[in-house]
Structures are given as structure tokens and as C-alpha cells.
Amino acid sequence: MTKTLKQLVHVLWAIEKDLHVIASNTEANGKAEINSQDIISTMCSAIHDSNAVN
């Protein structure tokens, strides 16, 4: 019984660790996506502005 509980705790701890990694990666990807959208928006504005000048 004790061995089974120790194994369960070990598995749950490993799952928690994996979930933290997934959450960190998801947050980083979300920030990268926001940054890429900002870059695209800036580029579109610059193109629009340069077309307005020409």
C-alpha cells in the first residue's frame, strides 16, 4: 500500500511538473504571437504610409 501511494505521488508530481512546462511554453508562444502581430501591424502601417506619400 505504501509503495503504491509513493508511486502515485511520484506520478502526480511528474504530471504537475509537465503542466508547469506546458503552461510556460504556452505563455511564451502567446507572447511571441502578440509580438508578431505587432510587427505585422507596424509593417502594414509603414507600407500604407509610404504608399500615401507616393
Model pLDDT, residue 53:
60
The residue that leads in pLDDT, 5 or 54, is 5
pLDDT per residue over 8-34, tens digit each?
888 998 998 898 888 888 887 777 777
Locate 43 and state its grid cell.
Answer: 509593417
pLDDT of residue 43: 78
* pTM of the predicted structure, to 2 decimals: 0.51
